[in-house]
Structure 1
C-alpha cells in the first residue's frame, strides 16, 4: 500500500522557531507555564497581536493565514499553540474598542490579552462607568496577561437589566491586570503550560470605554477581520489547534508502531497488513477533513473580504467543517493510541504529552459533537 504522508504543518513557521518551541516544550509542561524563551518568541514575532487592528498597532493579518500559523504552532507544542490562539483571539477584541483605547492597550509593552467568555460576574452601573465583581475560569496565558477580557451581567441599583426578551443584558469588558486577582487553579492532565487559571475581580470601577460589543455592526476598526462572525472565528481557530495536535500525535504514533512488534506475528506492527491499512485510513480521513476545512475557511474569508456578510448557511458550513475535522482527529488519536505501547503511557514521553494536550484541548465546549 503506498505511503500517504500527512501535509506538513510547520510551513508557516521557520525551522528555527519550530526548534525553539519544541526544545522548551517539556520544561514548560513540567513548570506548568510557557518557558520564558517561548514567551519571548510570542512577543518578538508579534503573534499575540496578529488579529488586532493595524490602526491600533496590530498586524491585522488575514484570518486563514493566522489559522495556519496557529495550527503549525500547536503541531509543535499544544500549550503554546493554545495560548497563541486564545490570546491573539482576545487581541481581536481591540477592533471593537474605542480607537484611542485600542491603541493604548495594543501599545502596552509585552501586551497579552487573556480572559473568559462566561458571564460569571456583574457590572453595576456607576457614574459614567461600571463597577465589576465576579470570578471567571480558564484564562489561558493568565500569568502573561496584561489585560483580561470578560463578560458580565449588567445591573442598576443592584437589579439586573433585561433585554427586550426579558433576558439578562450581558456586556463584554476589558480590564487591566492590575485590577485583577489571579487565582491559581489550572490542574489539568494536559495543556499544563497554558496556565489557564481563574481570576477574580472585586468591586473594580471601569469607564464605559472599557466595554465593547462583539458584532460586525459595532466594529470600530475597518477591515474584513472585524466583519467575520465571532463564533465562526472561534470554531476555525479551535479546530486548527486540535488538528495540529492530532497531526503531531499521528507522526509520533507511526514512529512507535514502526518499532513495536506484534506479539503474535513477531513482526513490526507496520508490517501487519491490517495495522498498516488502519493507519493509512486514519491519515486519509484526516487529510480529507483538513482539506475540506481549509477550503471552507478560505471561501468564507474570501466572501467577507469581498464585502459580503456570511449568511446562516455559510456560518453553518464553517461550524460543520470545523467539527468534522475535530471528529476525525478524535477518531485518529483514540484509534492509534493502543498501538503505541507503554512508552506512550510514560508521562515524560513526548507522545504522552501530546496525547494529554489533545484530550484536554478537545474538551472545549464549542467542540462538542
Structure 2
C-alpha cells in the first residue's frame, strides 16, 4: 500500500487508539463515531443534489481500504453504511433529501429478501426480519429487500419469478434485535432488525439499477454487483495488510527454537513466506485498482461498465480476497500464542478478517 494514504494520520490514530475498547464494548467508540460523521464518510456516495458528497468511486474504495487497514470494524461499518447511502441516488429526490437532512444521517441494512411487502393503497404494508445490519445502533434509516404481494398473493415478474423490491424506512418503525455474536467485527454491532406490519408510502420502494437511477452522476451508472465486490474486497484486503504488518512484528521478536535459536525472521522459509505474502497482495492490488480506475474513467466519460469488465472486476476482487486469505493463513502459525490471545491487536485483526471474509459475495470460487 502506498504511503500516500487517503486517510489522514491524525484520523488513523483516533480510530486505532479506540479499536480495542470498541471490540470489548461491542460497538464503535464515541470518538470513532464522531469522526465518521465529521468527515462525512456516510454521505460520500450519496448525490450532491440531495446533500451527499458524490465522491469518485475509486477514491472511496481507497479510503475504505485505508480505514480497514487501521481497524476492521470501523472500515466495515463505514463501507456498509456509506454503501447504503449510495441508494439515495435511486430514491425520489424529495425523499433522499429528507433522509440526508436527518441529523447524523446513517443508513444500515441487509440485502437478504427475508420479508414481505403487501400492497395497500398508495404504499406497502411491511412485515419481516433481516440479519446483519452493520452500524445498526447509529442508523437513522434501514434498508432491506422484500417480496411483493397483493391481496395475500405473491406478485411475479415477466419471467415468472417472485417480484422483489428494495425499501428504505425510518428507524421509528424498526426494532433492533441484538443477536450479533460473531468472533470478529464485534464493534460493527451488525444486529438483526424487524418491521412488524408498518405501512410506508410507495416512494420508499426503489430499484437498484442504473436504468432506474434518479441521480445522473457516474456513481449511479455503476452496476451494483461490481460496486459491492470492489468495496467489500478492499475492506478484506485492508484487514489482511494490517495482519501482515502485525505478523511481521511478531516474527521479528521470535526465535527459531527448532533450529540454531536464530531470529525467526532469518529462517529462509519464514522470510520467503512473509515476502511472498506481501508481494502477492501488492501485485493483485495494483491490477485491481488499474481496472477500477479504467472502468471509472469510462463511466465518468458517459459510458457504462461492459459485462466483460464487470466479470473481470469481480474476478480480480475475488483474487485479491484469495491472496488475503493466503497471506493471513500462511503467516498466522509463525506468530505464536500472542496471535491467539483475544486481548492482542493481532488477534482482533485476525478475528475481523475471518469474519469479514465470510461475506456471501466473497465465497471462494472453484
Give the TM-score normalised by the residue count of structure 1: 0.97
CA distance in 1, matches of 2:195, 2:167: 12
Runs of 4+ in 1 over 2 A off after TM superposition: none
What's the counterpart of residue 77 of structure 2? 83
Q: CA deviation at 1:309?
A: 1.2
- Whether the 8 Å contact between 1:260 and 1:268 is mirrored in structure 2 is yes
Task: State the secondary structure of the residue aligned to 1:163.
Answer: coil
CA distance in 2, matches of 1:127, 1:277: 66
CA distance in 2, matches of 1:249, 1:143: 27
Query: Which deviations, in whole Å up to 9, do the C-alpha atoms of 1:300-335 show, x marking residues without a partner?
Result: 111111111112101001101100000000000000
CA distance in 2, matches of 1:261, 1:339: 10
| RMSD, matched Cα | 0.8
CA distance in 1, matches of 2:269, 2:194: 53
Task: State the secondary structure of the residue aligned to 2:320.
Answer: helix
Aligned pairs for 1:140-155 (under 5 A) are 140-155=134-149
Give the TM-score normalised by the residue count of structure 2: 0.98
What's the counterpart of residue 61 of structure 2? 67
**Do structure 1's residue 55 and structure 2's residue 49 form an aligned pair?**
yes
What's the counterpart of residue 161 of structure 1? 155
Pick from 304, 312, 316: which aligns with 1:317? 312
Aligned pairs for 1:107-186 (under 5 A) are 107-186=101-180
Pick from 259, 262, 265: which aligns with 2:256? 262
What's the counterpart of residue 302 of structure 2? 307
**Do structure 1's residue 231 and structure 2's residue 241 form an aligned pair?**
no
CA distance in 1, matches of 2:13, 2:175: 35
CA distance in 2, matches of 1:107, 1:173: 18
Pick from 350, 356, 361: which aligns with 2:351? 356
What's the counterpart of residue 207 of structure 2? 213
Query: Which deviations, in whole Å up to 9, do the C-alpha atoms of 1:25-84 show, x marking residues without a partner?
Result: 000000010001100001011100100000011000000000000000000000000000
The total of aligned residue pairs comes to: 363
Q: CA deviation at 1:7?
A: 3.5
What's the counterpart of residue 3 of structure 1? none
Please list every run of 5 or more consecutive structure 2 residues that lacks an aligned counterpart in the other structure: none
**Do structure 1's residue 329 and structure 2's residue 329 form an aligned pair?**
no
**Do structure 1's residue 222 and structure 2's residue 216 form an aligned pair?**
yes
Please list every run of 5 or more consecutive structure 1 residues that lacks an aligned counterpart in the other structure: 1-5
Q: CA deviation at 1:99?
A: 0.5
What's the counterpart of residue 277 of structure 2? 282
Query: Which deviations, in whole Å up to 9, do the C-alpha atoms of 1:176-206 show, x marking residues without a partner?
Result: 0000000001000000000000001000000
**Do structure 1's residue 33 and structure 2's residue 61 form an aligned pair?**
no
Query: Which deviations, in whole Å up to 9, do the C-alpha atoms of 1:133-152 show, x marking residues without a partner?
Result: 00000000000100000000
What's the counterpart of residue 335 of structure 2? 340
Pick from 194, 200, 204: which aligns with 2:194? 200
What's the counterpart of residue 191 of structure 1? 185
CA distance in 2, matches of 1:259, 1:7: 25
CA distance in 1, matches of 2:179, 2:55: 33
